[in-house]
Amino acid sequence: MRRILIIGGGGMVGQKLAHRLSAHGLDGDRNIEVTLFDMAFPEGGAPAAERITGQLGTPADIDSLVAARYDVIFHLAAVVSGDAEANYQKGWEINGASVLHFTRAVQAEHAASDGAWVPRIVFTSSIAVFGPPFPEKIPDDQPLTPQTSYGAQKACAEFMLNDLGRKGAAEVVVIRLPTIVVRPGKPNLAASSFFSGIIREPLNGQEAVLPVEDDVRHWHASPRAATGFLVHAAGLDMALLGDNRVLTMPGVSCTVAEQIEALRRAAGDRAVALIRRAPDETIRRIVGGWPRDFAPKRALALGFTADRDFDEIVRIYIEDELPDSPP
């Protein structure tokens, strides 16, 4: 039996991953046991063999997770971008120091096992590692020039994880996720939160606030695509990855105006009329420094697949979320 740990298993993507593993297993393998770790878990929530409550900022909590020697570890937990920018210490503690503590603990446990324990680790990074100026489509070898604390933290995490993999202590796959839309539930502290809000709120009959111009172009993936990336990364043939264990995931590049037209096609003018423009200089500045489009050749060649277009992203939200959360 394969034992799987999801760090950040109480979060939106972690919960969806747990649901998916419960429903479909991992790579068709249903002989698995899933453990979730997070600060808190939603009521009800995804099925799991165990839910462990703890803090990434507490080294002992990480140590006991690592000591349990899971076969597969998904590490999805992070302080989100807006929060990390507002709270320098918290961001660097959780997205920086705790990741380093994790990689060092894994290496120590690997050594303690005399090399027998080599977990598969799938870690989520972000396109926030990139900063302007951008080429029209960002290639796989784009230099990392983060413009935010969150981006700098994720850049560090990439180097920490890649070195852990290079040393042979774990099979490491780091995936740079696009912005995940449409997130269910409430807005969060991420500066990107509005990309979900302008679809989600109107579909639920509520007003949404749009803090940026309609011509802002960005890079998106649905929660369903994101869990697909994670599962695919967990089963990836490591021999194909080579020295660079970090992959930019594919996604859908579109403007806010194109997002709004997809909403109109799905839910009509009355939904679109619920979007209220309220420019926010801070968010405009942060988002203005974000990537708009990619040419993620390596990930595509390795079989990672994105949503077809933004209409599909809207449809996935309606299919997966609206039956359970009516307006």
Token pair 């060092």 in the structure block, residue = 104
CA within 13 Å, CB half, 115: 2
Instruction: Give the C-alpha separation, 94 to 303, whole Å.
Output: 31
Name the one range near a second copy by CB under 8 A: 8-16, 26-34, 104-112, 299-307. 104-112
Name the one range near a second copy by CB under 8 A: 159-167, 221-229, 233-241, 279-287. 159-167
Residue 168 Rama label (left phi>0; alpha psi -120 to 50; beta)? left
Helix, strand, coil fractions of the chain, as percent rounded to 5: 45, 20, 40
Nearest to 73 by CA among 113, 35, 28, 24: 35
Interface pick for a second copy out of 32, 92, 293, 309 (rule CB under 8 A): 92
Name the minimum Å distance from CB 323 to a second copy: 43
Interface pick for a second copy out of 31, 40, 44, 89 (rule CB under 8 A): 89
Interface pick for a second copy out of 35, 81, 126, 149 (rule CB under 8 A): 149
Name the minimum Å distance from CB 96 to a second copy: 6
Name the minimum Å distance from CB 130 to a second copy: 11
Interface pick for a second copy out of 243, 269, 281, 324 (rule CB under 8 A): 243
The answer to the question of residue 127 lying near a second copy (CB under 8 A) is: no
Q: Structure tokens of 285?
A: 């500045």
Interface pick for a second copy out of 32, 68, 97, 189 (rule CB under 8 A): 97
The answer to the question of residue 324 lying near a second copy (CB under 8 A) is: no
The answer to the question of residue 107 lying near a second copy (CB under 8 A) is: yes
Compute the radius of gyration of the chain from its Cα atoms.
19
The answer to whether 101 and 59 have CB atoms below 8 angstroms apart is yes
